[in-house]
A = this chain, B = another copy of it.
């Protein structure tokens, strides 16, 4: 019954049921409880004699029920538990508890209670979807021969130009005044790319999935100081289409997995939290089966408004934008050598509602070109290790990063990035 009900049943028909009360209904001849244990959105109905009622049996309280599991007379549940005993393990004062029975609180409201919001249906559904999407992404890479690399969080790289960095030092003065713990200044990573590229010199396909950081003073609905990125590098890759294929396959594979394995949880969002969003997701999957669009644009960098326009212009489906002006891209982007236009082999994936979901590029594998560019900006010594990667058995390669929280926003239709991560961190906010 475990998968059917999503409730752990310890003995088959003579059962101990442990969970949290989601609803209570007291009738003359029967007491009805719905218990949930977090394994699914579904609760199990408990039927008891009214004598088993107790004032401490309230919405949110934790209980253990022993009884007999029976076939249910109701259509929408296969079984119910006839209770012999109900034991309240943990009380929950309904006056103090910020969530109320039968009320559908908004995401904004529950966000005020970061330590309690997982007890709502909406946020527990979100967390199950997030867990399942994580599994799906790992499975995609595993099935496609990628080796997972744990790229480091702490790094001495500081020159990628990916925005503001957080610096780390011990909180108490373990080290001498003015000396760094790591002997050099150390930062929180903004991307695992350069470390993945190290691995691209020995593995044809690698990926990483972990936390990434930006010290941006932003409270936007699309930015966090700590977020999760999925990053992949593919060796022996000579065209952006090899990369966009991986991006598209991963997106499709993960999304289909989540829609199939978390149907109820996704439905809760598509029906009650973000009504009307479901057709957008289906559109993305169906339309993209005719291939995501590949327009080429030219000029200055894209701002959020441009991204929105492009996506809308293409019919509200995901859009790959390729071959950006060379000077707008970081030193590692591969030179297309298409003078006078002069572009870099870079690609962004824009999606409806969210904007930039992925960014990637071919990497400059040619030692002479890479060295010349690093010399221009005076970084050839800092990145001598990176130049070494091109000195010894260099191969054409490329990769991309996907913002995992933005991916969840995209498929669930959630407006704020703060509502798709267990503990959001942004400027002026780091509770717990």
Contacts and interface: CB of A to CB of B under 8 A. Distances in A.
Interface of A: 2, 8, 18-21, 37-39, 60-62, 64, 89-93, 96-97, 114-116, 118-119, 124, 127-128, 130-131, 134-135, 138, 142, 145, 147-158, 164-172, 174-175, 181-188, 194-195, 198-199, 201-205, 210-211, 213, 215, 217, 225-226, 228, 235-236, 365, 385-386, 388-396, 421-423, 425, 427-432
Nearest to A38: B203
Given A8-B145, A152-B432, A154-B166, 4 more contacts: A38-B203, A151-B423, A164-B172, A165-B171
Contact of A171 (B39, B201, B215): B215
Given A147-B131, A153-B153, A167-B169, A393 B119 contact: yes
Give the oligomeric copy count: 2
Nearest to A63: B393
Contacts of A60: 392-393
A89 B238 CA distance: 12
A164 B174 CA distance: 8
Contact of A422 (B142, B150, B188, B389): B150
25 contacts: A37-B204, A39-B205, A62-B393, A64-B236, A89-B394, A90-B390, A90-B392, A93-B391, A115-B198, A116-B201, A118-B202, A131-B147, A150-B211, A153-B213, A155-B432, A156-B432, A164-B171, A165-B171, A171-B185, A174-B215, A175-B217, A182-B428, A194-B432, A195-B432, A211-B211
Given A64-B236, A164-B171, A236-B18, A431 B385 contact: yes
Given A124-B202, A393-B92, A430 B171 contact: no
A423 B195 contact: yes
B168 A119 contact: no
Contact of A138 (B124, B135, B151): B135
A172 B2 CA distance: 52
Contact of A156 (B391, B396, B421, B430): B430
Contacts of A166: 154, 168-171, 181
Contact of A204 (B8, B92, B228, B425): B8
B130 A392 contact: no
Contacts of A119: 201-202, 392-393
Contacts of A152: 211, 226, 422-423, 425, 432
A386 B194 CA distance: 39
Contacts of A134: 148, 150
Nearest first, the 6 closest Cβ-Cβ pairs linking A and B are A38-B203, A90-B394, A182-B430, A170-B215, A167-B171, A18-B236
